Amino acid sequence: MPTPANDAPLEVACPQCSKRVAWSPESIFRPFCSKRCQLLDLGAWAEESHRISGESAMDEADLDTLLAQADKDAPLS
């Protein structure tokens, strides 16, 4: 297997603060630079500030229909 011309580890920008982070086993929070940035990003996902664009897989009406069907299909105990 050919060796890379540059032995320096790959560096990426922290998604939260843009600080450069070495992509190596020693960077335990990669791609984040720190636990703080990792938790800030997780919080943004939890409060739905970060979203994957596109349409919802289903709306509430579809969910209600599926739940009603599941109730009809459920065996009586």
Mean pLDDT per block of 10 residues along the chain (77 residues) reads 66 94 91 95 87 72 82 68
State the pTM of this model: 0.56
Q: Which fold has domain 7-48?
A: Erythroid Transcription Factor GATA-1; Chain A (3.30.50)
Tell me 8's DSSP state: S
pLDDT at 45 (0 to 100): 86
d(CA 41, CA 45): 6
Annotated binding residues? 14, 17, 33, 37
Distance CA 53, CA 73 (A): 34
- Find the largest Cα–Cα distance for the chain: 68
Tokens at 5, concatenated: 């011309």
What pLDDT score was predicted for residue 3?
A: 54
Tell me the binding residues for Zn(2+): 14, 17, 33, 37
